[in-house]
A and B are shown apart, each in its own frame.
Chain A
């Protein structure tokens, strides 16, 4: 049996260890877990090989959802309401964003795919979400996405929703100060 002090120290070390587990281990573990399993709709899959035989005769409906995070001064929408796609074929589409602030801003778009089972089959070759996007004051940008949906997509999936949320890369507290009020009613434009 350990003495009182050494037991107390061991218990303290256990508490510190659990703090480290929560603070240092869990977040990277969570990211890795989500990337492996495709949970959380993470779609950062980039296709290395595009030479796939399109699965002719199969049509999947692709829908777009765009949202702007609170306090981010952008107008943001998809170039089209949606499209019919064939798994295995390469497609291009465009999203449009306008900076409503009177100064330059840097945006980061975060993608998500629903249903989750589709996430790992949705592969983007090019996306405005891969990097941050810089906007001059009032600038309008056409932003391309090039993607392929793997032909291994499970047969029961007939609709995929691709959503992007636009974030201001500055801190929420900073951005709220210079948020121009005319954007307030246009924060969420969902197509």
Chain B
């Protein structure tokens, strides 16, 4: 460890000249970004893009919550409301959460494994720059005759085939998002497998790298299946096939099977990197090594495997034989075992630790607690007999928002607070960070907890108007949503201030004795790091 520190400090600045390259600084102006091949630049672009999408998708969520503040139709027509639910989901899933994790992977994976850059930097450039194109196409549909897709993000036929002019644009943008994700995933795997510093064996890799490796394999396995499913929709609509059209011998239910064969691994694609993030943060602020590093790896791998055999729990109500329902119910419940291993390992990491509660730790603790609530409501939904009652109700909305907002998004925010000083060389404003944390945590619960009650009381999801007995909880949820949305402006302010170097200077280690190679390089991390493979030091640091 010590040798790595001196290595990076002593020669980091002039290593570029050692190799006789004199163009190693970033290019000037727009070329730096459009032609970017540096993993840090591309990571930054991913994160900024994801933030932008987070606010666009969030604005759509606020349209939804404003409409639902009181019963009756206030602000938008039902068709616009449906467009908002559909686009909110597509933008948040493919535009905000996934690119944010790819951005973190770009920034951190090379620095955590001692690699100079990602393995395939030009493909890296492509996989980012496809995204703005994909989302421009998707969002342009808002201005088309017939409006944006309104049949739900799951794109079930035959409803989705009634989308107007937007339909082919929807399909094409999903294709592009898939391409981007697959290229990103290939890059992550090749980087991790081929570019680790020689002393780092697979089981010595930090957890964030491990969870991303597993996520990348999931992406390669399922994003093409989604591409296949939407291609079938396209050919059904325009080329006379009948994959999902009953008249021609097809079956619309088959789409649901194929979609959720993609869709369930997809939910782990969105949570596994967050597992990795909190597995980095909790040991730092508990000042103890991660409890059960290897069991965490096996648990994440088990979750990834199980995610392929549980898809039909999304569609218990299509009518399926009892044996099928039982299989998918028990397989789903089985996922609680490796997930429980992780939750208990995080808890055990904190046991008797010398804990402090800086913002990244607060977000990680909220993640641990609130994600587990989402996990428990997931177990309730796994029970076939009760799922028939909960299906397509607000209970489902409450469940997946609990795992996605205080789950994935809190994981992303924790990661940003944790590594931002390393990226910028300056501390963020800790006091404001904590204010942001408490506002977010309170409002996220005010928003989504009442939705459990709404769902259990029978309020269906995806409706712009509702029966009057649901008014109170809907109003509370809407107030929470507006509060949560405004709180995120504070997040932007904190990040921008930190990027503008308004905070105190960050030391190279930033936190008190954190483990990992990323803390052995200077703060801010130089444009090029680890052009020579570093020494890992004592293996104990990572296990």
Point out the residue from A18, A114, A169, A172 that lies within 8 Å of B225, measured CB to CB.
A18
Asked if A190 is an interface residue, CB under 8 A from chain B, the answer is no
Q: Which candidate, B26-34, B85-93, B215-223, B342-350, is the interface stretch facing chain A?
A: B215-223
Which residues of chain B from 225 to 271 have a CB within 8 Å of any chain A CB? 225-229, 231-232, 237, 240, 243, 245-248, 250-251, 253-254, 257-258, 261-262
Asked if B321 is an interface residue, CB under 8 A from chain A, the answer is yes
Pairwise interchain contact A39-B227, C-beta atoms closer than 8 A: no
Q: How far does the alpha carbon of A17 sit from the alpha carbon of B237 in the complex, in Å?
A: 24
Pairwise interchain contact B225-A11, C-beta atoms closer than 8 A: no
Q: How far does the alpha carbon of A19 sit from the alpha carbon of B258 in the complex, in Å?
A: 11
Point out the residue from B162, B224, B261 that lies within 8 Å of A19, measured CB to CB.
B224
CB B216 to nearest CB in A, in angstroms, measures 9
Asked if B416 is an interface residue, CB under 8 A from chain A, the answer is no
Which residues of chain A from 102 to 122 have a CB within 8 Å of any chain B CB? 108, 110, 114, 116-117
Q: How far does the alpha carbon of A168 sit from the alpha carbon of B246 in the complex, in Å?
A: 11
Which residues of chain B from 148 to 166 have a CB within 8 Å of any chain A CB? 158, 161-162
Point out the residue from B222, B250, B320 that lies within 8 Å of A18, measured CB to CB.
B222
Q: How far does the alpha carbon of A175 sit from the alpha carbon of B182 in the complex, in Å?
A: 39
Interfacial chain A residues near B319, Cβ < 8 Å: 40-41, 114, 116
Point out the residue from A22, A30, A171 that lies within 8 Å of B224, measured CB to CB.
A22
Closest residue of B by beta carbon distance from A111: B246
Closest residue of A by beta carbon distance from B223: A15
Asked if B139 is an interface residue, CB under 8 A from chain A, the answer is no
Interfacial chain B residues near A108, Cβ < 8 Å: 247-248
Knowing A18-B220, A27-B254, say if A168 contacts B190 (CB, 8 Å): no
Interfacial chain B residues near A4, Cβ < 8 Å: 119-120, 190, 194-195
Which secondary structure dominates chain B's binding surface? helix
Chain A CB within 10 Å — which of B158, B186, B229, B232 has the most? B186
Q: How far does the alpha carbon of A8 sit from the alpha carbon of B124 in the complex, in Å?
A: 12
Pairwise interchain contact B186-A171, C-beta atoms closer than 8 A: no
Pairwise interchain contact A40-B251, C-beta atoms closer than 8 A: yes
CB A179 to nearest CB in B, in angstroms, measures 14
Which residues of chain B from 477 to 523 have a CB within 8 Å of any chain A CB? none
Pairwise interchain contact A37-B186, C-beta atoms closer than 8 A: no
Closest residue of A by beta carbon distance from B323: A37
Knowing A4-B119, A27-B254, say if A165 contacts B246 (CB, 8 Å): yes
Interfacial chain B residues near A34, Cβ < 8 Å: 251
Point out the residue from B193, B228, B237 that lies within 8 Å of A23, measured CB to CB.
B228
Pairwise interchain contact A12-B186, C-beta atoms closer than 8 A: yes
Closest residue of B by beta carbon distance from A41: B319
Pairwise interchain contact B186-A15, C-beta atoms closer than 8 A: yes
Interfacial chain A residues near B189, Cβ < 8 Å: 7, 11
Chain A interface bracket (under 10, 10 to 19, 20 to 34, 35 or more): 35 or more
Pairwise interchain contact B228-A19, C-beta atoms closer than 8 A: yes
Interfacial chain B residues near A40, Cβ < 8 Å: 251, 253, 319
Interfacial chain A residues near B123, Cβ < 8 Å: 8
Pairwise interchain contact B228-A26, C-beta atoms closer than 8 A: yes
CB B63 to nearest CB in A, in angstroms, measures 28
Asked if A69 is an interface residue, CB under 8 A from chain B, the answer is yes
Closest residue of B by beta carbon distance from A42: B251
Closest residue of B by beta carbon distance from A117: B321
Closest residue of B by beta carbon distance from A72: B247
Pairwise interchain contact A19-B190, C-beta atoms closer than 8 A: no
Closest residue of B by beta carbon distance from A37: B321
Point out the residue from A14, A16, A167 that lies within 8 Å of B247, measured CB to CB.
A167
Knowing A18-B222, A19-B225, say if A7 contacts B247 (CB, 8 Å): no
CB B315 to nearest CB in A, in angstroms, measures 12
Closest residue of A by beta carbon distance from B182: A15
Pairwise interchain contact A8-B119, C-beta atoms closer than 8 A: yes
Closest residue of A by beta carbon distance from B119: A4
Q: How far does the alpha carbon of A110 sit from the alpha carbon of B189 in the complex, in Å?
A: 47
CB A130 to nearest CB in B, in angstroms, measures 12
Interfacial chain A residues near B186, Cβ < 8 Å: 8, 11-12, 15
Pairwise interchain contact B120-A22, C-beta atoms closer than 8 A: no
Pairwise interchain contact A1-B194, C-beta atoms closer than 8 A: yes
Knowing A4-B119, A11-B190, A34-B251, say if A19 contacts B221 (CB, 8 Å): no
Knowing A19-B228, A167-B246, say if A1 contacts B251 (CB, 8 Å): no
Q: How far does the alpha carbon of A34 sit from the alpha carbon of B321 in the complex, in Å?
A: 11
Q: How far does the alpha carbon of A22 sit from the alpha carbon of B260 in the complex, in Å?
A: 12
**Cβ contacts A to B, 9 pairs, < 8 Å:** A18-B222, A23-B231, A26-B225, A26-B257, A39-B320, A69-B247, A108-B248, A169-B248, A171-B240
Q: Which 4 A-B pairs have the closest CB atoms?
A: A22-B228, A167-B247, A23-B228, A22-B225
**Chain A interface residues (CB < 8 Å from chain B):** 1-4, 7-8, 11-12, 14-23, 26-27, 30-31, 34, 37, 39-41, 69, 108, 110, 114, 116-117, 165, 167-169, 171-173
